[in-house]
Chains A and B, each alone.
Chain A
């Protein structure tokens, strides 16, 4: 249930950003969660609903973009499909995770006077 501690870090970060800009409320958070990030999106959303109470995020919607894992050859760029060996069949080099491990806060919509 590390999702709870990640949500705590998220709300602290949003609070800091809102404070710097003298925001009075936060309307929406846009986050990106990779399939291979180790974060379970449903648990993350549940944790958010629990922890946002009595914070500046209390009425803020959480917009989660899930990013599928995408492996590719770092040399020739050929995609390597899910479940296959993570080595390029042509170049014989280890695959690179091009995306899918992010736990990112992209944008905060906040209300300023």
Chain B
């Protein structure tokens, strides 16, 4: 009540909050991250446009690592099981998170996805996010690292158009480089230049899931990520702690 004059009118009170609106998501992400760290599971949040080659990269990764490392995947998909089906066929233990109309995964969806899923058995848990270069960048999931797949067919200026996504990337996989001979106007150097204007620590590997070119560097990076734990300190930088540019 207004105490100045006792008129009985309600009082307007400013309440300072100064907190992140997504603080709830961040708490769940921290919870996920703690689970992963305790069980020494390396969680990788793989993002990129629809058709950037996220699933193909994971299929090729499984082809090379499958015999030596136990791989799991949570595949965010608006409506289908297709990605999870492909990943299972490649030997990855995979589960779909069907998001319905949601354009991204959040920490709670990942947490629920871990239920009834043998995630503790994996060396690597790939979280294949919904194909989208905008929304997924906003949500921490509890991952050890963010990886963004960018296909050469998407154009050289994608990083400049979507700076939020690329700023959050610890690593960019420039995919489908086997198509470069058909794309006379696309140069890796130009993509690298764009990345350097949105990523303070630009790190990228040109790869082809189809031919296997460049995949060794990606696998080495994954190995570094596993060895260089604890993961919570890695976010925002290369696992080695150095800015590394590989062309």
Which residues in A have some Cβ–Cβ distance to B below 8 Å?
1-2, 5-6, 9-10, 12-13, 17, 21, 23-25, 27, 31, 36-39, 71, 83-87, 94-97, 101-113
Contacts and interface: CB of A to CB of B under 8 A. Distances in A.
A1 B1 CA distance: 40
A27 B200 CA distance: 40
B15 to A, nearest CB: 5
B73 to A, nearest CB: 22
Contact of A86 (B14, B15, B196): B196
Contacts of A13: 17, 19, 21, 23-24
A111 B165 CA distance: 39
Contacts of A112: 10-11, 13
B12 interface: yes
A85 to B, nearest CB: 5
Given A17-B17, A27-B12, A36-B164, A94 B197 contact: no
A94 B103 contact: no
Interface string B93-106: 00000000011101
Contacts of A31: 21
A61 B217 CA distance: 52
Those 10 A-B pairs whose CB atoms lie nearest each other, nearest first: A94-B200, A2-B135, A38-B164, A38-B138, A86-B200, A111-B10, A85-B196, A108-B15, A105-B17, A95-B200
A23 B102 CA distance: 32
25 contacts: A5-B106, A6-B21, A6-B22, A9-B24, A13-B17, A13-B23, A21-B13, A21-B15, A36-B167, A38-B137, A38-B138, A39-B138, A86-B200, A87-B200, A94-B200, A104-B19, A105-B17, A106-B17, A106-B18, A107-B15, A107-B17, A108-B17, A109-B14, A110-B13, A111-B12
Which has the most chain A C-beta neighbours within 10 Å: B106, B139, B197? B197
Most chain A CB atoms below 10 A, which of B17, B18, B139: B17
A74 to B, nearest CB: 9
A2 B25 CA distance: 13
